[in-house]
Chain A
Amino acid sequence: MQNPLFFLKRSVEGKATTIQADQHPSSEYALYVKGINKTYPNGIVANRDVSVSVMWGEVHAILGENGAGKTTLVKIISGCLKPDSGEIYIDGKKVDIDSPLKAVSLGIGMVHQHFTLIPSFTVAENIALSLPLKGRLSLDHVKEKIKSVSEVLNLKIDPDARIEQLPVGLRQRVEILRLLCQDVKILILDEPTSVLTPIEVEDLFRMIRELKSKGKSIIIITHKVREALAISDRVTIMRGGRVVKTLMTKDSNESELASLVVEGFCPSLKIEHVGRGDPILLVKDLKVKGDRGEIAVKGISLVLHSGEILGMAGVAGNGQKELVEAITGLRRAESGTILIKNCDLTNNPPKSIIRNGVAYIPEDRMRRGVILTMSVSENLVLKNFEDPPYSKGMIMDKGAIERSASELITRFGIKASDPWITVNSLSGGNIQKLVVARELSNGASILIAEQPTAGLDVKASEGVHQKMMELKSKGVGILLVSADLDEIVRLSDRILVIFEGRIVGEFTRDNCDIQKIARLMLGAPV
């Protein structure tokens, strides 16, 4: 048998010292993956001969764009997917991982991007579910276990809290806590920061360092170069399903990593700040109710000018969603007025708001942005299929729809083999491109963009930002709602901070203070 460590010696030089040939991988390696290949049934090759090693007590970042194969790799390691070929060693022993349960029993656990918690259950109930239980349910036992595990790591979690009442950062902590209660020693975190606020990210990183000091190994998947630099000991860069390189983080830097992630990438976005024009969207004293009948927007007034990007920073769940839904006509406003180009359109139906030039990129693109079971072409004309040239009278013109779709597919770089394939066969990033293409191509004068780059890779994000800048220079006013503070600060001419349904701060480019914004987002005194 060829020594599986053979190829690794180069990449971890200095740490992997004396390894005899024909020996099993030493137990210095917590995890050790060799030659993984994976092709999906639809023909997409997600992993090509991928090999990675992780040491005990190491934070290992796997860095790459969307579609680079990172998630596929860790899904294989955590037993959610079966590889076509390849070997996995844990603590020097070859293992066969055929289910997430098996992975956990071997000490590997993963925190997915979409949490696997049951929202209406308490923390203790969720953790109890993952433990082998029989007969009478004794939650006290589970609570004791939670207490002992969380004390060691200084995690503060109330075992009786319902998941749905916890902020996202804490839910993530519960996921991690659950894995620790299952005695997991190798933790995999898939894009853990994508849902967190800057302060929550700091908390998470502190926790990761704590885990590391207790000898756990942590694999963190990310597409953000800066995060990989901030937290990891070593970083493996993936591109197009292959491992490009593994290197020591401290010997690398941002530009080296960025150029490895995207071959020859250099940020080209030109941020121009042209003078703003007339007000086009005016919101006055708006009050909107949330889903549970509570007042979610408590009297917000704002003005958006043409040629301006107005950023709205805030932790999700502070009334942004309700505000946006009221403006776009999806939710009734209890009181207040919404003026679009001096027309009072308060509580008008969405159609009339669309006709008045409001484009909308919804946060929940899968449910609000597209109809998954319809084709790309149909989705691209969803907002104007009744107008010529797409329809003549009641009859739709398939040819015209296809021509327009093909043009948009090329212009926005949507990866779709055919304009008539259904949207659910596209990747998340491509679905977002589709939504952006539809919303940005119909001559709107106002764009409401909710988390427009969430889950997109560097290149795709850059493309969306580029388009937004283009629109802005044409005089479109953009309301940018995002939890990504970096994005808001980079693009916005003005920034509003929303907290508990109220605007609690306004910043211009000149007096912008990220620390202050981050604190305001959490309702902390400034």
Chain B
Amino acid sequence: MIEWALIIGFIAAGIRTSAPLMLASLGETIVERGGILNLGIEGAMLIGAFTGFMGAFLTGNLWIGLLMAILGGILTVLVFGILVVRINLDQVVSGLAINLLAAGLCLYFFRLAFSQGAFPYLSELIGPYPIPLLSQIPVIGDVLFNQTIFVYVGIIAVPITYYLIFKTSYGLKLRSVGEDPLVAAYLGIDVSRIRYTALILEGILVGMAGGLLCLSMFNVFDTRIVAARGFVAVSIVILGRWNPVGALAGSLLFGFTEALSLWIGTFLIGPASASISQLLSLLPYLVTLIALLIGGRRVRGPAALGSPFSKE
């Protein structure tokens, strides 16, 4: 039946569009559990996308691109980490500064690398990797097991992150640092070390999320490529109540709305279709806003989230 195939295709697309948000929001969940609000995640994703694109473009190897994306993500998040953990600057201001810096740097180096009017693109993308046997299962196989590596990593990262936060001693320390860093330090916990570790984990996930955009979704780079997905990830963390499972749900909500708006767009015909599909692309952001209004009220995050910490 044709309808069946359409619906399966739609669900698979929804999961695919959720992948960058899963990765980014899981990373952000980890650092926010440790009391750090990283609004620079948008910039870190952009740097990841850029280094990923450049790596793949220059070497012709997509996997080297992915590695570069991860390194770019870690590096950007660590710069943010030095600002807020070491120098104790305001987290919100530092995050926004990182975003501006990232946009500027990417534009500069992109222009430096390619002449005006050039249109560099990758000749291939990281495509779906069907998992042997599992992908043969009807429906579920197509939806879950015929996806890109990014989807697999995003989904597997949910239970791993959950285990890390709630079932390991590192997680307990991380949460204590997010609740009350002074008490944690008093009990002999190295607050900075815990926070840097969390930031590196976030860097890996966020770098992947950024790289995904260039390596698996679009085959070109543009400084607007992240399109506020980083900020959406931050709101997904709130929506998901600082829980990896919640972050997964929030990412799917956003991803499916995005897929839906694209899907509806393909059915539009006529002179107004272009402007309507533009309007439809607002849908995911609107849904995020509404979901935050409904689900984001009276939620309590880590008590020390966003507040600077110094031992003095």
A contact residues vs B (CB 8 Å cutoff) = 80, 99-101, 116-121, 125, 128-130, 133-137, 293
Interface residue tally for chain B (C-beta within 8 Å): 20
Expressed in whole angstroms, the Cα–Cα distance for A80 and B186 within the complex equals 8
Partner of A120, one of B169, B179, B186: B179
**Contact across chains for B172 and A125 when beta carbons are under 8 A apart:** yes
Expressed in whole angstroms, the Cα–Cα distance for A340 and B229 within the complex equals 54
Contact of A116 with B186 at beta-carbon distance under 8 Å, contacts A136-B168, A137-B167 already known:
yes
A-side contacts of B168, CB under 8 Å? 135-137
**Contact across chains for A121 and B176 when beta carbons are under 8 A apart:** yes
Whether B241 sits at the interface, judged by CB under 8 Å, is no
Expressed in whole angstroms, the Cα–Cα distance for A142 and B187 within the complex equals 16
**Contact across chains for B188 and A99 when beta carbons are under 8 A apart:** yes
Give the shortest distance, in Å, between A130 (CB) and chain B (any CB): 5
B-side contacts of A133, CB under 8 Å? 169, 172
Whether B180 sits at the interface, judged by CB under 8 Å, is yes
**Contact across chains for A129 and B176 when beta carbons are under 8 A apart:** yes
Expressed in whole angstroms, the Cα–Cα distance for A117 and B187 within the complex equals 10
Main secondary structure of the interface of A (DSSP, over half): loop
Docked complex: B159-205 residues within 8 A CB-CB of A: 166-169, 171-173, 175-176, 179-180, 183-184, 186-189
Which residue of A is nearest B188, CB measured? A101
B-side contacts of A116, CB under 8 Å? 183, 186-187
Which residue of A is nearest B300, CB measured? A120
B-side contacts of A130, CB under 8 Å? 187-188
Partner of A128, one of B166, B169, B186: B169
Partner of A121, one of B175, B186, B298: B175
**Contact across chains for A119 and B303 when beta carbons are under 8 A apart:** yes
Contact with A along B277-312 (1 / 0, CB 8 A): 000000000000000000000101001000000000
Give the shortest distance, in Å, between A326 (CB) and chain B (any CB): 21
Which residue of A is nearest B168, CB measured? A137
Give the shortest distance, in Å, between B303 (CB) and chain A (any CB): 7
**Contact across chains for B169 and A134 when beta carbons are under 8 A apart:** yes
**Contact across chains for B173 and A129 when beta carbons are under 8 A apart:** yes
Expressed in whole angstroms, the Cα–Cα distance for A100 and B166 within the complex equals 26
Expressed in whole angstroms, the Cα–Cα distance for A342 and B171 within the complex equals 57
B-side contacts of A129, CB under 8 Å? 172-173, 176, 184, 187, 189
Residue pairs across A and B with Cβ atoms less than 8 A apart, 7 shown, are: A80-B186, A100-B187, A129-B189, A133-B169, A136-B168, A137-B169, A137-B172
Among the interface residues A100, A116, A129, A134, which one has the most CB atoms of the partner chain B within 10 A?
Answer: A129
**Contact across chains for A135 and B188 when beta carbons are under 8 A apart:** no
**Contact across chains for A136 and B169 when beta carbons are under 8 A apart:** yes
Besides A117-B183, A120-B179, A129-B172, 20 other CB < 8 A contacts? A99-B188, A100-B187, A116-B186, A118-B175, A118-B176, A118-B179, A119-B179, A119-B303, A121-B175, A121-B179, A125-B172, A128-B169, A128-B172, A129-B176, A129-B184, A129-B189, A130-B188, A133-B169, A134-B169, A136-B169
Which residue of B is nearest A115, CB measured? B183
Which residue of A is nearest B182, CB measured? A116
Expressed in whole angstroms, the Cα–Cα distance for A118 and B302 within the complex equals 11
Kindly list the 8 A-B residue pairs having the minimum CB-CB distance in the complex, ordered from nearest.
A133-B169, A101-B188, A118-B179, A116-B183, A137-B169, A130-B187, A137-B168, A116-B186
Give the shortest distance, in Å, between A400 (CB) and chain B (any CB): 37
Give the shortest distance, in Å, between B90 (CB) and chain A (any CB): 16
Contact with A along B254-293 (1 / 0, CB 8 A): 0000000000000000000000000000000000000000
Give the shortest distance, in Å, between B243 (CB) and chain A (any CB): 13
B-side contacts of A135, CB under 8 Å? 168-169
Give the shortest distance, in Å, between A119 (CB) and chain B (any CB): 7
Which residue of A is nearest B163, CB measured? A136
Partner of B303, one of A80, A117, A120: A120
A-side contacts of B187, CB under 8 Å? 100-101, 116, 129-130
Give the shortest distance, in Å, between B256 (CB) and chain A (any CB): 32
A-side contacts of B184, CB under 8 Å? 129
Expressed in whole angstroms, the Cα–Cα distance for A44 and B171 within the complex equals 41
Expressed in whole angstroms, the Cα–Cα distance for A99 and B190 within the complex equals 13
Which residue of B is nearest A293, CB measured? B298
Expressed in whole angstroms, the Cα–Cα distance for A136 and B171 within the complex equals 9
Contact with A along B135-174 (1 / 0, CB 8 A): 0000000000000000000000000000000111101110
Contact of A100 with B188 at beta-carbon distance under 8 Å, contacts A119-B303, A120-B179, A137-B167 already known:
yes
Which residue of B is nearest A104, CB measured? B188
A-side contacts of B176, CB under 8 Å? 118, 121, 129
Expressed in whole angstroms, the Cα–Cα distance for A101 and B169 within the complex equals 18
Partner of A136, one of B167, B175, B303: B167
Expressed in whole angstroms, the Cα–Cα distance for A233 and B189 within the complex equals 36
A-side contacts of B166, CB under 8 Å? 137
Which residue of B is nearest A136, CB measured? B168
Partner of B186, one of A100, A119, A134, A137: A100
B-side contacts of A125, CB under 8 Å? 172
Give the shortest distance, in Å, between B310 (CB) and chain A (any CB): 15
B-side contacts of A134, CB under 8 Å? 169
